Amino acid sequence: MERKKENEPSGSRGRSANRRSRKGFMDRPKLATQRRLPPTNIHDGKVGTPQAANGKVDDTLKIIPLGGIGEIGKNMYALEYKNEILVIDAGIMFPEEDMPGIDFLIPNTSYLEERKDKIQALILTHGHMDHVGAVPYVQEKLGNPDIYTAELTRGITIKRHMEFPDKPALKFQLVKDGDVEKISQYFTVEFFQVNHSIPDDLGLYIQTPVGNVIFSSDFKFDDQPINEKPADIEKIKSFGERGVLALMIDSTGAEKPGHSMSEADIQDNMEQIFREAEGMLIVGTFSSMINRIQQLITLSEKYGRKVVFDGYSLKSNTEISKKLGYIKMQKGTEISVNQIDSYPRNQVTVIATGAQGEDRAVLMRIVNREHRHIQATKNDSVIFSSSVIPGNERSIQRLKDMLYRSGLKVYHYNMMDIHTGGHGNQEDLLKMITYTKPTFLFPVHGHYSMTVTLGKLANKELGLPEDRVIIADNGSIVHFLPDQWWFDKEVAPSDYVMVDGLGVGDVGNVVLRDRQVLAEDGMFVVIALINSKTGKLDKSPDIISRGFVYLKDNKDLLMEVRRKLKIMIEKKSATPVNDSYIKDLIRDEIGRLLFQKTARRPMVLPVVIEV
């Protein structure tokens, strides 16, 4: 393929899923990896730097996950051979519940920053934020290498980059299914299409001097996908015939039996809802589910409905997809949100964000009657066409309850099959392993339990030896030779890098702990004026409480605190006044008193002023 290089400017900021017998698949021959290989003395989590029989340790291929293992999100992986590094993906992850104020997390790129002169390219597999969202934060740190990606992923990445006008322009190399790119002396990549919930998702067949590596990307096998063609099974099988040293495989669905449901099945069930709906249809989904959005547009046109898109990210992704031809829509189908009242309610479909119960997202504003243009009535229907992100169960349930209280018809995937994920379940994963016949299996993109489950599944169902499965963590440096692997004694930095507003990495464990304390027990400020000549209190201390107790209702506690302060300072103070000593004393003694009286531990903030 002749490479097309572009410099882009930056700008501003039901039914069973398993349709056939399991027996037919399980009766296939066992994997070729069961052949006898030279004995390996390092495997299954052992660490070391052995002198390998087939070559020097310096000649190993190293794979370093910097994000995406033991978690869902902030995907980033590096392949290193001699003086070259290939980086795959740069995603974000949403914060845990115990990270108040944090917007999202990005990978720690310290390992790569120290070696940025070795970085040959960054490959972006597809346009979801957990794979591309961190590009504006890390690209400059990586030396601004060329970005190899498909057209839609490029469009989404550029739109994201426009939010950061101070960042340098991104350099893209456009690729597509079937392209083979010689990235550098040691890395050649063949791109192949896989099915997911967004078009232009590319798997990677990476040729290296040590052996060939497959990076599956997020994938599932779908014989009848919407808005894209099925994955080329014969091509994937050909990789297995050519040889696969390691299969880096999406393990998100490893704990779910059967096949991932086809989008065609979802279309049938969605059509039933469209056929029976009496009023306006309000569909909550993820802004990145381009294929699902196309389904909803097609059904709306079939049943004579106008379509409204509401939600910043959803409108943005839809506009990009329309311009690039990934979303097709008849002229006149789309209307603006302020045109809704110009049409009968049974002729309108609203596609919106907020299916996770976010407070200020479109669905919540509709149910709270805070939306300027959309007012739901009893004949309207709400469809939750998305899965539940772990941790959002309570907020989603609250949203559902509010919708039911409003008398709306509510459809969600527990009632009927109106959503399928973009990740393959166990049968899909076993297929990929069987087709590619890897020497070593390297589960990625999943919680720790998912990676372990996939390894055990491959051992039980396909006979893949346990010592051929690599269960790693973020920061693990995994060495490969053609017939063995081991963990390096060293690990790459992989701790969380937190983004809070414009701050990147400036919120560490100490700040986070302080936020947790403030969120749980509040703060208690003591302002003490001390006479510099006598070392005694000049007047009664001022006290401020936020998130701890309401001062007007706790006068006895305040009197006891003031009494304690007066005795303590007069007993311990001296001239000249030692501010640091007095502050530590107030923090310890008053903190102890407050805990004795309330069983709470607010953050005690002493302010000592000499007068």
pTM: 0.78
User: In the chain, which residues fall in CATH 3.10.20.580?
Assistant: 522-610
Q: Is 117 one of the annotated binding-site residues?
A: no
Q: Is 128 one of the annotated binding-site residues?
A: yes
Which pLDDT band, with edges at 50, 70 and 90, does 379 fall under? confident
H/E element holding 485?
A: strand 484-491
- Which is the catalytic residue, given 89, 200, 250, 380? 250
pLDDT for res 512:
62
Q: Is 423 one of the annotated binding-site residues?
A: yes
Q: For residue 61, which of 470, 541, 342, 590 has the smallest C-alpha distance?
A: 470
Minimum mean pLDDT range among 48-52, 229-233, 253-257: 48-52
pLDDT for res 406:
84
Verify whether residue 553 is a known catalytic residue: no
For range 270-286, the mean pLDDT: 89
CATH homologous superfamily of 43-259+421-500: Ribonuclease Z/Hydroxyacylglutathione hydrolase-like (3.60.15.10)
Minimum mean pLDDT range among 220-229, 337-346, 376-385, 545-554: 545-554
Which pLDDT band, with edges at 50, 70 and 90, does 30 fall under? very low
> Does the structure show a pLDDT above 50 at 48?
no
> Does the structure show a pLDDT above 60 at 185?
yes
pLDDT for res 7:
42
- Which is the catalytic residue, given 161, 371, 423, 479? 423
pLDDT for res 411:
85
For range 481-499, the mean pLDDT: 92
Give whole-number Cα distances, 595 to 339, 523, 603, in Å.
58, 13, 11
pLDDT for res 315:
92
Mutual angle of helices 263-276 and 290-302, in 10-degree steps: 40
> Does the structure show a pLDDT above 50 at 41?
no
pLDDT for res 555:
79
Q: Is the CB of residue 505 less than 8 Å from the CB of residue 102?
A: no
User: In the chain, which residues fall in CATH 3.60.15.10?
Assistant: 43-259+421-500
For range 548-570, the mean pLDDT: 81
> Does the structure show a pLDDT above 60 at 479?
yes
User: In the chain, which residues fall in CATH 3.40.50.10710?
Assistant: 263-411
pLDDT for res 509:
62
Of 117 and 165, the one with more pLDDT: 117
Verify whether residue 412 is a known catalytic residue: no
Q: Is 447 one of the annotated binding-site residues?
A: no
Q: pLDDT (tens digit, 9 = 90+) per residue, 132-180? A: 999 999 999 999 999 999 999 999 999 999 988 889 999 999 999 999 9
Q: pLDDT (tens digit, 9 = 90+) per residue, 314-332? A: 999 999 999 999 999 999 9
CATH number assigned to the domain with residue range 522-610, chosen from the 4 options 3.40.50.2300, 3.40.50.970, 3.10.20.580, 3.40.367.20: 3.10.20.580
pLDDT for res 376:
87
In percent, how much of the chain has pLDDT > 90? 49
Q: Is 445 one of the annotated binding-site residues?
A: yes
Q: Is 59 one of the annotated binding-site residues?
A: no
Query: How far apart are the C-alpha atoms of 254 and 427, rounded to whole Å?
Result: 9
Strand 4-8 to strand 170-174: parallel, antiparallel, or no bridges (unpaired)? antiparallel
Q: For residue 34, which of 480, 472, 461 has the smallest C-alpha distance?
A: 461
- Tokens 């290296």 identify what position? 208
Of 162 and 566, the one with more pLDDT: 162
Q: For residue 225, which of 309, 274, 289 has the smallest C-alpha distance?
A: 289
Domain 263-411 belongs in CATH node 3.40.50.10860 = no
Give whole-number Cα distances, 15 to 18, 128, 265, 414, in Å.
9, 28, 8, 12
For range 389-400, the mean pLDDT: 74
Which pLDDT band, with edges at 50, 70 and 90, does 263 fall under? confident
pLDDT for res 98:
65
pLDDT for res 187:
98
Cα-flanking dihedrals φ and ψ of residue 521, to 5°?
A: -125, 0
Q: pLDDT (tens digit, 9 = 90+) per residue, 78-110? A: 999 999 999 999 999 887 766 666 778 899 999
Neighbour count for residue 478 (Cβ, 10 Å): 19
Query: How far apart are the C-alpha atoms of 571 and 223, rounded to whole Å?
Result: 81
Give whole-number Cα distances, 209 to 62, 175, 181, 480, in Å.
12, 23, 15, 11
Q: Is 126 one of the annotated binding-site residues?
A: yes
Of 32 and 496, the one with more pLDDT: 496
